[in-house]
Amino acid sequence: MVNEKLNLNIGGLPFGNGLFFSSPIIFTGTFALSAFYLLCFIQTYVSFYVWSSLFIFTSVSFLILCFFKRIFFNKKKLQKALLFSFAGILIGCISFLRLLIFYSPQATLAEAEKVEGVKLVLTGDPLPAGEKYYSADAKLFSFTYRGGQSFSAEGNIKIFFPSEMVKQNNAFGVSVYKGKTDNACKNFSKGAVLFARGRFIEKKEKISPPVFFTAKEIPEFLGWISFFSGIRANLRFNLMRLLAGWGSAGGLLLALLSANKDFLDTACSVSFKNAGLAHILALSGMHVSLVSLTAIRMGTVFGKRSFAIKFSLFSIILFVWFAGSAPSLNRALGMMIILVSGKSLGLQPDMLSVLSSMLVLHIAVKPEDSLSLGFIFSYGALSGILLFGKALTEVFKGKIPERVLGGLSASLGAQSFTAPAAVFKIGVLAPIGILASAIISPLVSVFLILGMTGIFTAFILPSSGFIFNFILNFLYGIILTLAETFSRMPLIRAETFIGKFFFSAVPFSAGVTVMLFACYLKEKRTAVFKFNGV
């Protein structure tokens, strides 16, 4: 796996000819995402028939452009740009229509207000939704009325469980809720088939799933949707039990490996958030890169580099399966597959083109992911690293030590590119995160690698657990102290629209300015080389 922070050699940015986007797929990705978000923004004002008409119009226009592009446009570059731009708009429309279908009302003869129980399968792991509830995505099988009548049902919903109900079977958990049957659910993991009692609440938006709140009664566990779902759930449960005994360090390691923050100290969570380091606690491409790097090193010991790469790809797939399909993990895994496939075909795709290809595939296959902050920050941060970070490296090359410049340029690029999303969605910016990320991220990487080594060793030699317990808690103390120090720095809060616009436009505009200046420097150097006959 290419390290997202260090490998910034992107052929998609030919600074020499003044163009920022030379690869056609970049046009497609940009227009696809723009069309998708534009349709999501104005969907409350337009009916489904208008979307259908727009989709038909775009499809017909795309076909006409494909057949008659040489008649309408003479220049090949303009033909290619318009063709791929139209393709992007078409993909954006298709993705939006798929999103409407995905979140459409459930197909059933039952009346939602009379439903008392639902049979469903969890299609995602429960995640905290505020302090009182956990929520999970689910797929419906049937509805049940109070009188016992049952109706088949199809569709997707979001189900909410009381937080204590989910956590009471964790290590050191306290039983608060009881079930009416002996097979009450004890493991709320992806793939669990449940019968839950509760009620639906009214759906407010077209592009949001129906919501079901469970009653204060543990759902009935009916089995696993597949054999592998049961294995995954048991592995995650055993890992949680193991790391719970490692104290605060175990809580951080569990959060880094499985996105489960049930044992993460509040002080650690708050410090990371206020220091602009919340992205470290979210499963991301950084975790995939570390897993890939570790697997390649291990694979190289047992075989050639080709075997190491295959072993690395298998390890990443296994990690994503175990950790859960978060948008950032899907993005990192997809990019890895595209890169490996391209190289096996003798191609050398640049990182920006690979990112754009994965973006197009992602919104087409799982459009529901596109509405999450994880999706926005994952693609935005990597785009910032590849665009703004590359430009910063170009400007300050030779003036700042390469190792320091690599970390700072990546952090600055990611922060400035995602500033608009952070300000408008969260309302807070943590400028200190630029420095904090450059210092703490390497420590967290070491912590994660040691933690994975410790888990592997502890399962083989349980008596070795106390050694890693001591080492990891010592390193955890250093990380927490640094995070608490950075978290004391002032935050930028934007509460008005003007304030949000200003604090989002300034860093993003600065990044664009640096890109333009990098273009100027590159062209100037090229002109000097040509003049000297180089």
240 domain-assigned: no
460 domain-assigned: no
* CB neighbour list of residue 225: distance below 8 Å, 6 or more residues apart: 121, 191, 192, 193
Q: How far apart are CA 463 and CA 454, in angstroms?
A: 11
Q: Give the pLDDT means over successive 10-residue stretches in the chain (534 positions).
A: 38 40 76 86 64 58 55 60 81 87 82 87 86 88 87 89 79 54 78 90 74 88 90 85 82 80 81 81 72 73 71 83 82 85 79 90 90 85 88 84 80 86 81 84 87 83 80 91 89 82 86 85 67 54
Q: Give the residue from 485, 107, 514, 96 showing the smallest Cα distance to 277.
A: 485
Q: What Cα–Cα distance (Å) separates residue 401 from each residue in 8, 385, 404, 437?
A: 16, 18, 5, 17
* pLDDT in the model for residue 482: 92
Same domain? 126 vs 229: yes
84 and 25 Cβ atoms separated by less than 8 Å? yes
Strands 133-145 and 115-122: antiparallel
Structure tokens at 99: 């999103």
Same domain? 86 vs 128: no
* pLDDT in the model for residue 10: 36
466 domain-assigned: no
Q: How many domains does the chain have?
A: 3
275 domain-assigned: no
Same domain? 55 vs 162: no
| Last residue in a domain, options 102, 124, 140 | 102
Instruction: Please report, to the nearest 10 degrees, the dihedral formed by the alpha carbons of residues 217, 219, 220, 224 taken in order.
Output: -160
Helix (H, G, I), strand (E, B) or coil at 284: coil
Which region holds residue 465: left if phi is over 0, alpha if psi is between -120 and 50, else beta? alpha
Same domain? 114 vs 77: no
Q: Give the residue from 422, 337, 335, 269 showing the smallest Cα distance to 7.
A: 335
Same domain? 140 vs 165: yes
Same domain? 187 vs 142: yes
518: containing domain: 372-429+494-534
Same domain? 526 vs 379: yes
Burial (Cβ within 10 Å: 0-12, 13-18, ≥19) of residue 391: buried
300 domain-assigned: no
Please report the sign of the dihedral spanned by the C-alpha atoms of residue 130, residue 133, residue 136, residue 141: negative
Same domain? 156 vs 206: yes
192 domain-assigned: yes
* pLDDT in the model for residue 72: 47
9 domain-assigned: no
* pLDDT in the model for residue 17: 41
Same domain? 381 vs 502: yes
Q: Which residue has the tokens 């951080």?
A: 252
| Last residue in a domain, options 193, 215, 234 | 234
* pLDDT in the model for residue 132: 85
Q: Look up the CATH number of the domain holding residue 186.
A: 2.40.50.140
Same domain? 57 vs 155: no
329 domain-assigned: no
* pLDDT in the model for residue 105: 79
Give 466's DSSP letter.
H
* pLDDT in the model for residue 119: 92
Same domain? 65 vs 82: yes
Helix (H, G, I), strand (E, B) or coil at 298: helix
Same domain? 74 vs 195: no
| Last residue in a domain, options 61, 84, 102 | 102
Q: What Cα–Cα distance (Å) separates residue 413 from each residue in 138, 213, 296, 410?
A: 36, 41, 28, 5
Please report which residue ranges of 366-464 form alpha helices under DSSP H. Answer: 373-384, 390-396, 402-425, 433-460
